[in-house]
Each structure stands twice: as structure tokens, then as C-alpha cells.
Amino acid sequence: MVGKLSPSFLSKYVFSRIGVKDPSVIVGPSIGEDSAIIDLHDGRVLVAHVDPITGAVEFLGWLAVHISCNDVAVTGAKPQWLLSVLYLPENASEELIDKITKQIDSAAKELGSMIVGGHSEYTPGLNRPLISMTALGIVDKDKAVRTGGARVGDAIIMTKTAAIEGTAILSTDFADQLLSKGVSHDVIKRGAEFIRKVSVVKEALLLAKEGYATSMHDPTEGGILGGLTEIAFASNKTIEVWEEKIPVAEETEVMAKALNVDILKLISSGVLVAAVPKALADEAVSLLRKHGIKASIIGLVHEHKHGLVVLHRKDGRKEVYDEVYVEDELVRLWKELKR
């Protein structure tokens, strides 16, 4: 079995076993909310998030920083401090350690964040390195944004193009399979550069600062659809979205077709999904574009009636997603192609 624990397992074995409840915790462990929000009792809150990177190898350190920082930024907090836990195979070379830590340093400098602690070890039984990264930030209490804040009538905005991280991972970890399917070296090379787009910190902090977003989310596992189901579940709403309105890069399209991948279910770090009052949606999109960030309005938020997400496919089919968990296409590919 690969991927996240099911919501039922989380509820049964994780969320029911959280030690002593602290009244200072405003947002604790829950489905859809990726960061804890803790009241500092001085008008500010501490935002904390931890994320493992297990499905990518080539850009492990770079992704570890940006993915964890994304989930802090979507609350409106600037990610300031990082703690990394690096698990290495027993035969890991010095060159591998150098490569990973250089990526961590470079990504942290790009965001203006500091590595303040962590742990590293050679771990028995591993065939590739893994990282768990914790990110911390602080924001004014009245400006904190929750995933579960989407309101009826809000428009759904997304930035950039679908499956940014997934495209980069396909281009590196599945390059041989893509070449065997006739995908050109040039397309694969361009796709690998998508790794530089995985941060949503800039756009998330822009929307938060201007007070546009009622909800923000970084769609990781499960792609755009996974991110939308989590917003809908946390907000107790139904989100209606149109596939034709979701931008997809040419490189992503080519690779997805070659490997028979559903782009909307492919890991999409680098995309910010946000709920914004409909009357302010065009204004929010203009703000993002003014700062060089592509943005599109792709859906609407409704009362929770007909599932979590209603997707209108380009071919006219309507798909309804009732479950909050959407299996990522990358998980399927690892099972099928990396056996």
C-alpha cells in the first residue's frame, strides 16, 4: 500500500489519539487542514506544518523546503523557520548528502527562511533517501486563513498550470518510460524545469495580505481534484469546477498522454487553489497577474448537497467526488512502472 492513510484510518487511529488537548490550539489535526494554528495570546498565531517527501528523488531537498513552506504560507504566515529530518540509505554517498543539503540551503535562501534544527541518520532498509521537513511561521490572528473557510458563492481561483510538481517528477524519475513512449528529450528537459515553479509562497502571501482569500490550499497528493475535495470537506461545501477552465502546460499534456495519466489527479504542488468572494475574484486575478503569476477562475462554491466536488469534463461527462481522498496518479505509476 502506498500514499496517505485513508480518512477512516486517520479518524480511528490518529485524530482520536492526540494526547492532552491544549485550548491554545485553534486548528489541530483534521482532514483538509494541513497546518496547526496555535494562539500565542499576543494577537498573533504560530503556524506549524510537517511534510514528508517520499515520491521524488532527484530534487528531494528542494521539494522538502518548498512543499512544507507552501502549507504554512496558505494560512497567510510567512514561513520563517525549518527543521529537517533526513533518512539516508546505509550506502548513501557523500555526494548524495552534499546534493540534498545544497538544495535545502538554496531553497531556504530563496524564501528567506532558516534551517534551525533537525536530525539526519543512515536508516536500515531504505533503498532511496527520504526527508521530513517542518516549517514554522507567525501571522496576526485576525489574518490567518483556514482551508475550511470557503463560503457559498465564492469563486475558485488557481494559479499557474495543473500538475506542476507531477510534471517535474515524471520528467526525472520516469524519463526512461517517457522516452520509450516517444516523448522527446526536449519536452522532458523542459518538464524537469517545472521544479522551479513549486512554491506558492508569493501568491499565497499576496492574497492573504490583501484579504482576498477565504480559503487557500496547496494541492499535493491527489492533484487539483485532491486539493478541491479537501477544501470542500474542511469547509462543508460542494465545489463545482470545469476541466476546460483549468490551464495545462503543453509538456504536462504530452507526458500525461504518453503514460495514460489523469492530469487533475497528479500531484500539483506549485499550484495555489483559493476561494475568493465572487465579487472580488477578477480583482484578485488581476493582482496576481500584475505580479507575474498566471491565475484563472475555475469553479464556484455551493452549499454542500451533491458530493464534495462536481467536475465537468471537457467531453461533457460529469463526475462527482464524494470521498475526500483522491489517489494520486504518481502512486499508481510507482506501483505499475517501478516494480
pLDDT tens-place string over residues 4-61: 788 889 889 998 999 999 999 999 998 888 899 999 999 999 999 999 988 667 789 9
Residue range 46-90, pLDDT digits in tens: 999 999 988 667 789 999 999 999 999 999 999 999 999 999 999
Q: Which long-range contacts (CB under 8 A, 24 or more apart) does 127-130 make?
A: 127/89, 128/57, 128/89, 129/57, 129/60, 129/86, 129/87, 129/88, 129/89, 129/92, 129/96, 129/100, 130/52, 130/53, 130/54, 130/60, 130/86, 130/87
Which residues are within 8 A (CB) of 231 and not within 5 positions of it... i.e. 6 or more apart?
32, 147, 148, 150, 215, 217, 237, 239, 273, 275
Is 173's pLDDT higher than 90?
no
Angle in degrees, CA 86, 227, 304, rounded to 5? 145
Answer yes or no: same fold for 23-143 and 147-337. no
23-143 topology per CATH: 60s Ribosomal Protein L30; Chain: A; (3.30.1330)
The predicted pLDDT at position 32 comes to: 84
Helices (H), 193-249: 201-209, 223-235
The domains of the chain are located at 23-143, 147-337
- 289: its cell numbers: 497577474
Mean pLDDT of 228-255: 98
The predicted pLDDT at position 338 comes to: 56
**Strand-pair category, 114-122 with 318-321:** unpaired
CATH 3.90.650.10: does it fit domain 147-337? yes
Cα–Cα distance, 10 to 12 (Å, whole number): 6
Mean pLDDT of 280-285: 98
Q: Determine the straight-line distance between the first and last CA of the chain, rounded to whole angstroms.
A: 13
Yes or no: say if 288 and 239 are a contact pair by the CB < 8 Å rule. no
The predicted pLDDT at position 1 comes to: 55
Is 310's pLDDT higher than 60?
yes
Yes or no: say if 215 and 76 are a contact pair by the CB < 8 Å rule. no
Is 206's pLDDT higher than 80?
yes
Percent of the chain residues past pLDDT 90, beyond the cut: 87
- 7: its cell numbers: 480518512
Cα–Cα distance, 251 to 197 (Å, whole number): 14
Cα–Cα distance, 306 to 110 (Å, whole number): 42
What band does 292 get if pLDDT is binned at 50, 70 and 90?
very high
Radius of gyration of the CA atoms of the chain, in A? 19
59 residue type, one letter = F
Cα–Cα distance, 148 to 217 (Å, whole number): 10
Is 253's pLDDT higher than 80?
yes
The C-alpha cell 503543453 sits at 250
Mean pLDDT of 194-220: 96
- 238: its cell numbers: 460542494
Mean of all residue pLDDT scores within the chain? 94
The predicted pLDDT at position 5 comes to: 82
What band does 105 get if pLDDT is binned at 50, 70 and 90?
very high
SS3 of residue 254 by DSSP? helix
What band does 321 get if pLDDT is binned at 50, 70 and 90?
very high
- Paired with 309 in beta bridges are 239, 321
Return the half-sphere exposure (C-beta side, CA atoms, 13 A cut-off) of residue 337. Answer: 19
